[in-house]
Structure 1
Amino acid sequence: QDGRKRPSPPAAKMAAYEKRRAAPAPAPAAGSGPAEPGQAAAGELGSEAEFLLRAGVTAMVREALLKVLEARPEEPVSFLADYFERLVPGSPGAAGEAAAELPGPPQRLARALWYVRLAHHSHRTAFDSNAGAAYEVLGAGGRRRKAGVDGRLYSELLRRICQHGGAPAEAAAALLGRVRCRDHEAVPFDVFRYGVLTCFVLLEFAAKADALFGVLDGGSGTADGRVCQAVLRALEDALGIGHVALPGRYLEAGSRLGPDGLALAMDRALQERKLGSSMSREEFLKKATALFVAKVKPVE
């Protein structure tokens, strides 16, 4: 006897069991039977993830989620449904609204329009990214055409932006005359972005002018012509003189036309003893948007 206590048989068995449990299980030999349930589940998960990655689904879903975060739509689920539908070539969503319109390949124009309308132009990073995607879609080459955006596709996209946004027809036509390119010209991206941005700023400017007229007419549909003319003069002064390269600055200028300035202009107009005719909403919007278009820097 050496004086040391030997482990009892049950304790020895327990120690051996713990060693076996801690040791990694050997890989099953071929033909030795089914794998353990845990190993089978891990293998299935690995194969599923590999399939999604190989099929491009993982990257596609990640891109869709990034678009949701960039655009921040009011209805994210509808946004995602529309997004995935437009990824399928030849689907109703990809061609739908432009199926019977010309010029240019309808699907590319419809998809480019969808891209540029995703994010508000004030979200500069998202807007620039979407404008770049639209530019690539329109500029995709084919069997019978070289890659690149020509003036015809560019002008048609601008027309659709104004049309879908409900811009006054005369203002839209005048604006397109200042920022359009010749049909055969190659349009660089900076010109493309400038034209697209200017169209969206026109839409917002028209919406603000419409809201302003809603204050002037009191819901009657017509307003005092003297007051409207005074407001238009104040708006013209706020826009300043000359052209600005960044169209969004005109919205900032319009926002500087505060309540105090408007109140003073309206008060002076009402103090005049001249009989004033009424002005309709359409006439007011026509004159207000003409002020904006006159300030837009033409594309050279």
Structure 2
Amino acid sequence: MEELMLPFSLPFMRDAMLIAALIAVPAALLSCFLVLKGWSLMGDAISHAVLPGVVGAYIIGIPIGIGAFVAGMICALGTGYLQENSRVKQDTVMGVVFSGMFGLGVVMYTKITTDAHLDHILFGDILGIGPADLIETGVIAGVVALLILLKWRDLTLHAFDPAQARAAGLPVRLLHYGLLVLLSLTIVASLKAVGIILAIALMIAPGATAFLVTRRFGAMMAVAVAVAVAAAVTGVWLSFFLDSAPAPTIVLLMTAAFIAAFVAASVRARRTDA
């Protein structure tokens, strides 16, 4: 038992578990809306598109989070503009925009001399975070989670039926871009812990898992948060004994949870049909 509790006695492991849990809450809440709206690719696009912002922020000497947020919003707004002013479908526009911005970020990175490692930007460095990272992530996670919980009913109606939301007098455009802002902020909060590439998994898998096992949206959000937090803390803990990277371990646990939910839902459906 003492060996199993060893990770909790190490400060860097406790910090890693804490920041993973902090990120998991807003990411799980957002994942419910992304799954319902079919915005999985949008989350992927923004997570990749922040790279040039990260590199640019490093070059001019401003906080990396600011650069990442600005780049994420440029991607989101640019995608919306191109979709509204061309015949190209949304998924195609997003694919072009995020791949272009990601390529720009890689080119920018190769042209600067820095001690920063690209793999930390791409995959995170959850075991190397400091107090400042915890505070920054905690503040962003708290703000995003609070805004979602305050406006979840409006966001839910907008996700299910934008036309009905407009008829009900809701500010549909504000809700649309507000959700994109929250998405960009959550990706910024995730950068230090899980990096650009794995951040999208945190914002899809919990909502997809909860969607399979619940029938009400309120329950879906609660299950998504529970799955995300459990996978985040357990993934960091398990990585200590497996000698693996924490972020991919977290993602694997979320994938396993989704598979288990899928199997359970399939079995339940067969029993119902029988």
Q: Same fold (TM over 0.5)?
A: no
Larger radius of gyration: 1
TM-score in terms of structure 1 length: 0.25
Q: Which has the higher contact order (CA 8 A, sep 6+)?
A: 2
